[in-house]
Amino acid sequence: MQISPNKVVTIHYTLRNPEGEVLDSSTGGEPFAYLHGAGSIIPGLEKALEGKEAGDTLNVTIPPEEAYGQHDEALVQAVPRSAFQGVDEIQPGMQFQAQGEGGAPQVVTVTEVSEETVTVDANHPLAGVTLIFDVEVKDVREASEEEVAHGHVHG
């Protein structure tokens, strides 16, 4: 069965950056299952998997535009340190949940700390990064009506 919209796809993958550093991997654990066409994986990887079958392997390089987008400097801002009331120690690399546009929750990463301000970055940590995936398709099956209705895999 070929990968196409509304199929449940199970894969093993290893994700690397252009320097060869492993950023994430399912190796040694459970394979990753997703509903193809539901937007639950990055567009470039979903496009590369289209038409593949169980047993297929692929190596795909995905530019930022088809992954997490380019790094947007408008999403980096200095906020008053007082916005972090109740947090005793703030260090670069720490992540906090903030209120984004329309009140939606948004994760921000601290990039710089001074006496008066904390600089936070609301870009995805992999924004601007070319991603390299090694993928093995383990299984492809029809999604249930409930999975399609909910937009994700059950079980």
Average predicted confidence (pLDDT) for the chain? 95
Q: How far is CA 119 from CA 81, 107, 110, 142, in A?
A: 9, 13, 6, 46
Query: Does the domain made of 7-68+127-150 have the CATH classification 3.10.50.40?
Result: yes
pLDDT at residue 104 tops 90: no
Q: Which residues of 58-87 are buried (b: 16+ CB within 10 A; e: fewer)?
A: eebebebebbbeeeeeebbeeeeeeebeee
Phi, psi of 104 (to 5 degrees): -70, 140
CATH (residue range 73-121) = 2.40.10.330
Whether residue 98 is predicted with pLDDT greater than 90 in this model: the reply is no
| Domain chopping of the chain, boundaries | 7-68+127-150, 73-121
Helix (H/G/I), strand (E/B), else coil: 16:
strand
Distance CA 71, CA 123 (A): 6
CB 81 within 8 Å of CB 117:
yes
Query: Sorting pLDDT into bands at 50, 70 and 90, what band is 2?
Result: very high
Whether residue 11 is predicted with pLDDT greater than 90 in this model: the reply is yes
How far is the C-alpha of 50 from the C-alpha of 57, rounded, in Å? 12
Q: What is the pLDDT of residue 147?
A: 96
pLDDT score, position 155:
77
Whole-number percent of the chain with pLDDT over 70: 100
140 phi/psi in degrees, rounded to 5: -135, 130
Cite the DSSP H helix spans in 15-150: 43-49, 145-150
